[in-house]
Amino acid sequence: MARITGEFDGYTYEAIWDLPTDHRILWNAKVRNSRGDIAGTPGGSILVLGDASELSNEESVRQTVATAIGGGVGVDREV
């Protein structure tokens, strides 16, 4: 298992994923703002099915999480 943590625009996030066996992986980001409130996501979690390259560096994870919070295409929110 691997993880990247970071912060942007008043939110903190922790992206967690199992090391992939191929290029497609399911990863989870837990996102909260500075007050501890969930960032518009049920349970504070965002599940993303994407390419392993999305996790290649902290900036690409940050951009993917920002897109998820904005309701980006290809992002499933955990219920």
What are the residue ranges spanned by the domains of the chain?
A: 2-77
* Mean pLDDT calculated for residue range 49-74: 63
Higher confidence at residue 15 or residue 52? 15
Closest CA to 75 of 26, 31, 3: 26
* Mean pLDDT calculated for residue range 21-35: 59
Closest CA to 5 of 55, 48, 47: 55
pTM, rounded to two decimals: 0.42
Statement: residue 76 has pLDDT above 50: no
Q: Supply the pLDDT for residue 77.
A: 41
